[in-house]
């Protein structure tokens, strides 16, 4: 655990074994390094889709906290994926993953995320985690 962290943030990351392959993602509290949420393991996905959904689910997690009148302690979301950050901000996604029974659940979730991003605004900053300077993101699955 890193001490003297001033910012309260969610760190997100995805892991994909193969590309495409088994994919999952999660969010970790930057201050405590405790896991805040963890996706199901999708039997067929891509790392880029996982990184995108990790940011989206982090936004939703913070929104839900705010709706319950509990103040969210998170000031921003960190991701180490420039591509995922850009896709969330542009509210568009590109994928070559083919729609099959195996990918249906994941691709439906991606479409739901894109639709919600286009129809709702959010004000939580999404920042790039500079892993070259600050080491791996705390949400990293350490499977390299």
Mean pLDDT confidence for 19-31 = 94
pLDDT above 90: residue 31: no
Domain membership of residue 1 (yes or no) is: no
Domain membership of residue 140 (yes or no) is: no
What CATH number is attached to the domain comprising 109?
A: 3.30.420.10
CB 74 within 8 A of CB 124: yes
pLDDT for 50: 97
Residue 60, token pair as written in the block: 């939703």
The b-or-e profile of 54-76 (16+ CB within 10 A means b, else e) is bbbbbbbbbeeeeeeeeebebeb
CB 84 within 8 A of CB 48: yes
Domain membership of residue 124 (yes or no) is: yes
Q: Print the domain residue range for 31.
A: 9-134
pLDDT for 71: 64
Q: Which residue has the higher pLDDT, 19 or 137?
A: 19
pLDDT for 141: 82
106 C-beta neighbours (distance < 10 Å), count: 24
Domain membership of residue 107 (yes or no) is: yes
> If residue 21 lies in a helix (H) or strand (E), which one and from where to where?
strand 21-29
pLDDT for 19: 86
Residue 51 confidence class, pLDDT cut points 50, 70, 90: very high
Q: What is the chain's mean pLDDT, rounded?
A: 88
CB 137 within 8 A of CB 129: yes
Domain membership of residue 105 (yes or no) is: yes
Mean pLDDT confidence for 25-47 = 95
Number of domains the chain contains? 1
pLDDT above 80: residue 69: no
Nearest to 26 by CA among 7, 3, 42: 42
pLDDT above 70: residue 70: no
Domain membership of residue 130 (yes or no) is: yes
pLDDT above 50: residue 114: yes
Question: pLDDT for 124-134, tens place per residue?
Answer: 999 997 655 55
């Amino acid at each position: 655990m890193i001490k003297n962290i001033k910012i309260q943030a969610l760190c997100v990351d995805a892991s994909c074994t193969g590309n495409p392959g088994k994919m999952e993602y999660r969010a970790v509290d930057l201050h405590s390094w405790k896991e805040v949420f963890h996706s199901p393991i999708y039997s067929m996905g891509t790392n880029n889709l996982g990184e995108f959904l990790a940011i989206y689910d982090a936004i939703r997690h913070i929104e839900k906290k705010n709706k319950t009148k509990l103040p969210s302690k998170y000031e921003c979301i960190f991701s180490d994926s420039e591509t995922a950050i850009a896709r969330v901000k542009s509210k568009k996604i590109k994928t070559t993953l083919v729609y099959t029974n195996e990918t249906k659940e994941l691709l439906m979730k991606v479409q739901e995320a894109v639709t919600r991003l286009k129809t709702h605004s959010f004000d939580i900053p999404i920042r790039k985690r500079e892993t070259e300077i600050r080491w791996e993101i705390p949400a990293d699955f350490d499977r390299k």
